[in-house]
Structure 1
Amino acid sequence: MKNYKFMWLMVIMLVLSVFLAACGDEKESADNAAGVEEEVTEGSEKELSQVLNLVEIAEIASADSAIAEDAISTKVLNNVTEGLFRVNQEGLLAPAMAEEDPEISADGMTYTFKIRDAQWSNGTPVTANDFVYAWQRAIDPDTASPYGPYLMAGMIKNATEIGEGKAKVTDLGIQAEDDKTLVVQLERPVAYFLSLTSFATFLPLNEEFVTEQGDEYAANSDAMIYNGPFSLADWDGTGGWKYVKNDMYWDAAAVKLDEIIVDIVKETSTALKLYEQGKKDRVILTAEYAMQYADDPNIINEVETAVFYFKMNQLRDGKPTPLANADIRKAIARAFNKEELANVVLANGAKAANFLVADDFVLDENGKDFRDYSGDFTVYDVKEAQAFWEKGLKALGTDNVTIEFLGGDAESSKKQQEWFKAELERNLPGLTIKLKEVPSAVRLELDDTSNYDLQATGWGPDFQDPISFMELFVTGSPQNKMGYSNPAYDALIESTKTTYANDPIKRFEMFAEAEKILLEDDAAIAPTYQRGGMFLRNPDVKGIAINPFGSDFSYKWMYIEAAGK
């Protein structure tokens, strides 16, 4: 994501409050009256306007698929660009730019895709080379993709060597045999490979167009072309934007909406006013409004797979932070009431999280949920937290500690962060929390440079496997910008890709052991909640698809129905 998946899922964060990642918060909005507009001509029936109005709580950080890492950006890309596969209305993978399921070699390491007849929005055919170019660009060190090397290394042939400067970008295990035939070679069998092909980093790019745009590529909606259900419009690199139906899309007949107008609205109260005025069709509710509108017939409750947590940075500006002390981390992880956070502060269907891998997200081959393999960690316990705190302060040789808390600037994020501050300061005597609340793009930059102490963020899984969460915190991961490294943890994650790659049960056992190290033994991060969503939605709006991994929502199948039908 996630950040999102952190990009952790702001949505919050509340999505991502935080992201990350994520990881961002999921909220949507509008500006013009939408819902049901009607045009009447003499002797004709009324026609519904297929214009949807949504709000988001954050800007598009990047519309470049090689660079995008937050929830908002990846959601936008999912709706304007299409990869080999996409998540369908039922939450299952379905062929997209791939005409059908690929041919897979007996050893599970060579995938051959046939590319369907499709066009970019400028009329140029989509070809196998569009995937070759995009994937090579994402792995190229000069691109500085946050996900390309991370997702491809150890999976696609020669990706690791390219990252280490031992191979050329053109050596990546992907080639176009012809315009319609794409061959991908893996280093090892990867059970979740197909689900990755729907993720932003693996979306196609037209080499001629991107090269022509140069540094301006994806800087605004005119500096892009699209092969998805919609084209982006009226986006100048900041502020709101529009989705406009892409008539060149191969499955345009399935797309009913003509236009989606998106505005940035960071205050829930403002978004609600727009909803009540009929100027927006969907808004996420924060706690105080969730209770107020609980009995509204247009309330939609959505359970999501994004998990939020504190990242605790151990090394800032080359110097250890107080969070380099394991006892300080263990104290913080236990010093806030997660049930109160989920049920009172959020009050939108979120659940307290004493885990990293989401509940009800992935099953083994026998239908057993991953959470049944693992346990609950760092459960709220003030007495235990204070014992760790006193031990940590003694080791630091001080009676007080000041920690900067990095979070989002949306209304919902600020309220959540103020609650965290009050809880932590109340339960850990001598702790002072200084809130630093910034826009999503700034927060991502501060995260990337490890310029923070404590950060509220989250992750929505990029694909349907525990490793989408667990690999975030291996040494050198682009999401692990917090000075954490544990060789035992790294070895367990590596074993799920090598020794136990073809043993689903043993893989889950290794992930469970690694989760205990990360959360209980090291307290490298502190889980806070698994995201839930309570939305007000115009009852005439139908067909939204909520994705269990990758992008949060797909708008391809949405439409506006006449009232009462």
Structure 2
Amino acid sequence: MKISNKIFALLLTLLLIVGMTACSGDNKETTDTTTDTATETSAEPKILKVQVDVEVASMDPQIATDGTSFEVMGTMVEGLYSVDAAGTPILAMAERVDKSEDGLTYTFTLRDAKWSNGTPVTANDFVFAWKRLVDPATASEYSFIADIAGFKNASAIIAGEKGVDELGVTAKDDKTLVVELAFPVSYFESLMSFNSFFPVNEAFFTEKGDLFGTSPDTLLANGPFKMSSYEPAATTIELVKNPDYWDADAINIDGIQYQVIKEAQQTMLAYQNGDLDIATLAGEQVEQFKADPEFNNVVAGYLWYISPNLTVPGLENVNLRKAIALSYDKSAIANNILKDGSIVANFAVPTLLATGPDGKDYRETAGTYYETDKAKAKEFFEMAKTELSQDTFAYTLIVEDTESAQNVAQFIQSEVQTNLPGVTITIETMPKKNRVERMQSGEFELGLTRWGPDYADPMTYLDMWTTGSPNNYGFWSNPEYDAIIQSAKDGELSLDLVARWEALKDAEAIVMDEAVILPVYQKGNAVMIKSAVDGVEFHSVGINRIYKNVTKN
């Protein structure tokens, strides 16, 4: 369109007047608004920077088995329940639950929630995920936990005796999930906050196929954060706030960055440089920083132990296993090497895990086993040599490549070789994922491993050593033990809480008497947390750290 000279001159004059008014500062409201916007735009995003010492192994909720994977996944996905700061189950994806009087039927009404692709979270997302969990074709190492939860027909489906469609879970409609149990489970609601029971969107899973869970594009979130940068074995993982989360208004940080740093000195340098908000200390660092106001000591539920492979010649002998179990100084490991609040483990079920019908912690009334006794270790060793007609033994101990695990392994190596002359221990280090794979396949002799509790009951440990359990790395089998555990899960013992509790102590005694595992320590965590950070929740059961309520100033 052509503009006349007169109109052009008038427009130019108006522009000059507006420009002079804005520059003069007379229009204070305009000036202040501009300044506020600039400040808001330039503000640094509030990113919580967290150190972990092992890589994420899997982001598939029905496949993952390790604590780091559980923690990262727990920032992204919510199940029917979560837990509060005290570890008490609270409703999450479920808005309401109705329980039958006999404790065998739970009817959940889901809240209005969306996945990060905008798709509604439905009851079928839970049904699909849980059928995947028990399906033998999935080969989930955690399939057993569906039986622990009491799902009707779970054990038969896992054994291949029934089809997955017979699992006691039904999507009555998009918002109504009905769960049928074969027997009452007192800790059922606590279990429902665990990763294996997280939902999976069937259409999305089918679309992504074998790539599911391997990148931000193949992951969905229905929780506080969603993935922005991730690949398997990545050393840095980045998440951003999920605007589609049902409780997004309660999230006070913009994202989380995980950094995999295995070496303690490098970790503290990163923390001191401001590159980390949360860092775990090890060894001498604990003494150095324990007076720091940002130092925190947290008791964890992880039990560290040596698992001997009973199919390896020599290790089938219980006296040789007992000799090794008694030969290393656990107090020195906890107090001189780790120094992080870890305690000596003379047991298979940790302290501060569960309270019995008597109101006491399990460990208060259970026995203790394998207190370090080097003289007794030599007695057992002499018996083993006689029984095996052999004087020398050489074994390889596999251990993950974290600094603390290697330090512990080296100390055990020295202690065993010193106190049991004739036994040679070679250490082989590898990433945790490889160590777990080797132990699962039986391609090891001795393995330094750990287990963290999935729910607040001794069964979360004792169920591991039943015949055929994927976590029974030593391939031990004892019919009496299997019978106790099965009855405590869904048999006569399950109906008598007092008798069940005592029977679980008997079961632990069998595991210890047979030296199925050689306990070392119960983990404590010495953690540095920047003073600007508040609201990190530590839990000894299930997901160890939860960040939903974190603030960062």
TM-score > 0.5 by shorter chain: yes
Q: C-alpha distance in 2, partners of 1:527/1:433?
A: 17
User: In the alignment, does 2:427 pair up with 1:435?
Assistant: yes
Which of residues 500, 524, 536 is equivalent to 2:528?
Answer: 536
The residue aligned with 1:173 is 168
Q: How far did residue 46 of structure 1 move?
A: 9.2
User: In the alignment, does 2:324 pair up with 1:321?
Assistant: no
State the SS of the aligned residue for 1:143: coil
Q: Does the C-alpha gap of structure 1 residues 452 and 68 become closer, same or farther in structure 2, counting only changes over 3 Å?
A: same
Whether the aligned pair in 2 keeps the contact of 1:353 and 1:528 (CA below 8 Å) is yes
The residue aligned with 1:185 is 180
Q: C-alpha distance in 1, partners of 2:340/2:37?
A: 44
Q: How far did residue 155 of structure 1 move?
A: 2.1
Which of residues 338, 343, 368 is equivalent to 1:351?
Answer: 343
Which of residues 241, 244, 247 is equivalent to 2:240?
Answer: 244
Q: C-alpha distance in 1, partners of 2:41/2:50?
A: 27
Amino acid in structure 1 at the alignment position of 2:334: A
The residue aligned with 2:214 is 219
Q: How far did residue 263 of structure 1 move?
A: 1.6
Paired positions, count: 517
Whether the aligned pair in 2 keeps the contact of 1:66 and 1:137 (CA below 8 Å) is yes
1:61-460 matched pairs, under 5 angstroms:
61-100=57-96, 102-152=97-147, 155-239=150-234, 240-315=236-311, 320-460=312-452
Q: Does the C-alpha gap of structure 1 residues 276 and 491 become closer, same or farther in structure 2, counting only changes over 3 Å?
A: same
Q: How far did residue 154 of structure 1 move?
A: 8.2
The residue aligned with 1:6 is none
State the SS of the aligned residue for 1:432: strand
State the SS of the aligned residue for 1:324: coil
Q: How far did residue 278 of structure 1 move?
A: 0.9
State the SS of the aligned residue for 1:89: coil
Amino acid in structure 1 at the alignment position of 2:500: R
Q: Does the C-alpha gap of structure 1 residues 43 and 85 become closer, same or farther in structure 2, counting only changes over 3 Å?
A: closer
Q: Does the C-alpha gap of structure 1 residues 40 and 393 become closer, same or farther in structure 2, counting only changes over 3 Å?
A: farther
Matched residues, percent identical?
Answer: 38
Q: Deviations over 1:315-371 (max 9, x none)?
A: 1xxxx4321110011111111111111111111111101012111221123421111
Q: C-alpha distance in 2, partners of 1:363/1:486?
A: 27
The residue aligned with 2:492 is 499
Q: How far did residue 43 of structure 1 move?
A: 7.6
The residue aligned with 2:22 is none
Give 5+ residue unaligned stretches, structure 1: 1-38
Whether the aligned pair in 1 keeps the contact of 2:134 and 2:146 (CA below 8 Å) is no
Q: C-alpha distance in 2, partners of 1:381/1:283?
A: 35
State the SS of the aligned residue for 2:95: coil
Q: How far did residue 396 of structure 1 move?
A: 1.7
Q: Deviations over 1:475-511 (max 9, x none)?
A: 1111002120111111221221221213222111011
Whether the aligned pair in 1 keeps the contact of 2:143 and 2:158 (CA below 8 Å) is no
Q: Does the C-alpha gap of structure 1 residues 516 and 44 become closer, same or farther in structure 2, counting only changes over 3 Å?
A: closer
Whether the aligned pair in 2 keeps the contact of 1:282 and 1:535 (CA below 8 Å) is yes
The residue aligned with 1:489 is 481
- Considering fraction of residues, name the structure with more helix: 2
The structure whose Rg is larger is 2
Q: Deviations over 1:243-300 (max 9, x none)?
A: 2111111111111110111121111111111111111112111111111212222111
Q: Deviations over 1:69-110 (max 9, x none)?
A: 01111111111100001112222110111113x212222111
Q: Does the C-alpha gap of structure 1 residues 250 and 500 become closer, same or farther in structure 2, counting only changes over 3 Å?
A: same
Q: Does the C-alpha gap of structure 1 residues 85 and 150 become closer, same or farther in structure 2, counting only changes over 3 Å?
A: closer
Whether the aligned pair in 1 keeps the contact of 2:226 and 2:242 (CA below 8 Å) is yes
Amino acid in structure 2 at the alignment position of 1:77: M
Q: Does the C-alpha gap of structure 1 residues 154 and 201 become closer, same or farther in structure 2, counting only changes over 3 Å?
A: closer
Please provide the CA RMSD for this pair: 1.7
Q: How far did residue 163 of structure 1 move?
A: 2.1
Whether the aligned pair in 2 keeps the contact of 1:425 and 1:431 (CA below 8 Å) is yes
Q: C-alpha distance in 1, partners of 2:160/2:368?
A: 41
Which of residues 504, 507, 511 is equivalent to 2:504?
Answer: 511
Q: How far did residue 558 of structure 1 move?
A: 0.9
State the SS of the aligned residue for 2:494: coil
Q: Deviations over 1:445-503 (max 9, x none)?
A: 10110111111111111011110111111111110021201111112212212212132
Whether the aligned pair in 2 keeps the contact of 1:265 and 1:271 (CA below 8 Å) is yes
Q: How far did residue 45 of structure 1 move?
A: 12
The residue aligned with 1:23 is none
Q: C-alpha distance in 2, partners of 1:96/1:267?
A: 36
TM-score relative to the length of structure 1 = 0.89
Q: Deviations over 1:32-84 (max 9, x none)?
A: xxxxxxx9977889956411111211111111111100111111111110000
